[in-house]
Amino acid sequence: MSEDCTPPPQSEPPVSEMSSITLSETGPNVLRAQFSKRVPIVNILCRPDGGSGLAGQTVTVGGWVKTGREQGKGTFAFLELNDGSCPANLQVIVDASVAALGQLVPTGTCVLVEGQLKVPPEGTRQQIELRVSKVIEVGSVDPAKYPLPKTRLTLEFLRDFVHLRPRTNTISAVARIRNALAYATHTFFQKHGFLYVHTPIITTSDCEGAGEMFQVTTLISDSERVEKELQKNPPPSEAEVEAAKLVVKEKGEAVAQLKAAKASKEEISDAVAVLTQAKEDLSRLEERAKLKPGLPEKDGKIDYSRDFFARQAFLTVSGQLQVESFACAVSSVYTFGPTFRAEHSHTSRHLAEFWMVEPEIAFADLEDDMNCAEAYVKFLCQWLLDNCLDDMEFMAKNFDKSCIDRLRMVASTPFERITYTKAVELLEKVEDKKFENKVEWGIDLASEHERYLTEVLFQKPVIVYNYPKGIKAFYMRLNDDEKTVSAMDVLVPKVGELIGGSQREERLEVIQKRITEMGLPLEPYDWYLDLRRYGTVKHCGFGLGFERMILFATGIDNIRDVIPFPRYPGRADL
């Protein structure tokens, strides 16, 4: 195609106008990416007409080759191109006269091409294809070394290539679903007037009281640095320190003598300068004499006052305690970020780093908490059905045939609400299943119990509330029976517990007693108690495990496959 036939490039709108642009799904013009000179494949294939209405248009498309094959005795090649904007691949046809086909067909090759969209012959599954006129860029691949061949790969295998696995159909679909759920989360809370608060990743408080926290410290690196320094430059001996002290004494006496003799100002100033230098030399020697290999100690324990934060610090297990301080000032807030737990668990349900959505609502009780949690989960499910159905259909086809029906059921069904005591009574009567964990009042319900309630007994989401105080955290409000707390868990099919929450204890004396009963020190929580000392308010909140929500939505079995860069015992790649 001659350059004269190429349409002029689309003019870029001013940056100030880009945020107001709307996308047309049925118009005659294909929409180019706003910040790239290419057309996203989603803008071609995911129109109601499958892209056929764009036939005849010249476009630039970029992506990675899923499959490629030479045809017609090497006269042309078919490429299945995907850029991650949608699950579908765009079929691209390249003639040998346009480019060397051998460099284009290997799986994993990245290409940026220009060509004309055409309606393929009848009987083919594609509704539109691209006939290439120019190959602009090629990111080549050695097929003998590329670790992700086009054969079907297990999710376990892909965990060894976390930097390349987003190129696979499954992980890219999970990424889009995860993105949609994150967008839906912010949409839901912003729509309901919640303020988004960034809580710290480094904390000095243990929210759960479990003690399974990653410690943040510079003491180890500091001690290693000191040890290397001492090997290069050993500390001064006592004799050297004493000699330096003697020099300081002599220089001090010299200054005194000059002053007594009423020496000139210049002579006294010179002597004082010599004394000052001697004192500085002594100070450096004394500091170096204190240097010792190993961690600093005081009274037989590690001296954390010498640490970076002058006290013990950890990676947070929850942003709840900190975000409560904002709830007790601006009423409705939420935090959404990474949390950490140093639990040596290798199960398919545990990660060392995971994300939590944690809203807090002032002037609200347990019923309000349950209402918010139910509305939020329903909103997430409906959002995926409305905005991510193509990816969900991929999941239904490849992982869990019931995942879309499950979303529809949760989005449209009122949640069952029962007390913990009632839940135990129902589980104790079960005869058609033998539980591995014995059911009795006071236990923390296991996943098998939770799933039986939601999948078998009620066949819909269940909110269990008023748990025994002995199995819940200190900040949950003590009920009048003094045996249970105003806590609630939202249980859903496939994963069991999806949300855990409670009305918070707003009474100072009660929460002080609870902290003490659980064997926790009061001092680290003194700031938290201030929220009860000064203008206490009834408030509640909950936490949703974001990866668990993705497991529930997709039907994928292992939590390591629904987070971009999984961290678990023995693995922290990249």
- Structure confidence at residue 237 (pLDDT): 86
Q: Answer yes or no: is pLDDT of 336 > 70.
A: yes
- Structure confidence at residue 222 (pLDDT): 86
- Among 85-99, 247-261, 348-362, 535-549, whose mean pLDDT is lowest? 247-261
Distances (CA, A) of 205 to 98, 270, 305, 319: 63, 54, 17, 10
- Structure confidence at residue 286 (pLDDT): 87
Q: Quick: pLDDT tens for 505-547.
A: 999 999 999 999 999 999 889 999 999 999 999 999 999 999 9
d(CA 262, CA 241): 32
Provide, rounded to the nearest whole percent, the portion of the chain with pLDDT above 90.
75
d(CA 181, CA 550): 8
- Structure confidence at residue 225 (pLDDT): 86
Per DSSP bridges, beta strands 90-95 and 129-139 are parallel
Give me the chain's average pLDDT, please. Answer: 91
Radius of gyration of the chain (CA): 33
- Among 170-174, 271-275, 412-416, whose mean pLDDT is lowest? 271-275
- Structure confidence at residue 210 (pLDDT): 54
pLDDT-derived band of residue 211, with 50, 70 and 90 as boundaries? low
d(CA 318, CA 323): 10
pLDDT (mean) for 254-270: 88
pLDDT-derived band of residue 478, with 50, 70 and 90 as boundaries? very high
- Structure confidence at residue 231 (pLDDT): 83
Q: Which residue has the tokens 């923390």?
A: 444
Q: Quick: pLDDT tens for 398-437.
A: 999 999 999 999 999 999 999 999 999 999 999 999 999 9
d(CA 396, CA 386): 16
pLDDT-derived band of residue 17, with 50, 70 and 90 as boundaries? low
Q: Quick: pLDDT tens for 458-472.
A: 999 999 999 999 999
Q: Answer yes or no: is pLDDT of 346 > 90.
A: no
Q: Answer yes or no: is pLDDT of 395 > 90.
A: yes
- Structure confidence at residue 19 (pLDDT): 42
Q: Quick: pLDDT tens for 65-93.
A: 999 999 999 999 999 999 999 999 999 99
d(CA 42, CA 89): 9
- Structure confidence at residue 14 (pLDDT): 53
- CB-facing half-sphere around the CA of 58: CA atoms within 13 A: 14
- Structure confidence at residue 171 (pLDDT): 97
- Among 200-214, 356-370, 478-492, whose mean pLDDT is lowest? 200-214
- Structure confidence at residue 27 (pLDDT): 52
- Structure confidence at residue 290 (pLDDT): 81
| CA quadruple 185, 191, 192, 194: dihedral sign | positive
Q: Answer yes or no: is pLDDT of 199 > 70.
A: yes
The kind and range of the H/E element at 62 are strand 58-71
pLDDT (mean) for 383-391: 97
pLDDT (mean) for 210-237: 86
pLDDT-derived band of residue 348, with 50, 70 and 90 as boundaries? confident
Q: Answer yes or no: is pLDDT of 8 > 80.
A: no
pLDDT (mean) for 137-144: 95
The end-to-end CA distance of the chain, in Å, is 45
- Structure confidence at residue 32 (pLDDT): 84
pLDDT-derived band of residue 1, with 50, 70 and 90 as boundaries? very low
pLDDT (mean) for 492-516: 96
d(CA 242, CA 257): 23
**Closest C-alpha among 321, 354, 322, 324 to residue 339:** 354
Is the separation of the CB atoms in 90 and 64 below 8 Å?
no
pLDDT (mean) for 292-305: 88
- Structure confidence at residue 26 (pLDDT): 47
- Structure confidence at residue 349 (pLDDT): 85
d(CA 109, CA 107): 6
- Structure confidence at residue 107 (pLDDT): 95
**Which position has the higher pLDDT, 266 or 197?**
197
Q: Whole-model pTM?
A: 0.87
- Number of H helices and E strands in the chain, helices first, is 16, 18
Is the separation of the CB atoms in 61 and 130 below 8 Å?
yes
DSSP E strand boundaries for 251-331:
297-298, 301-302, 313-315
**Closest C-alpha among 400, 406, 407 to residue 385:** 407
Q: Answer yes or no: is pLDDT of 2 > 60.
A: no
Name the DSSP class of 308. Answer: T
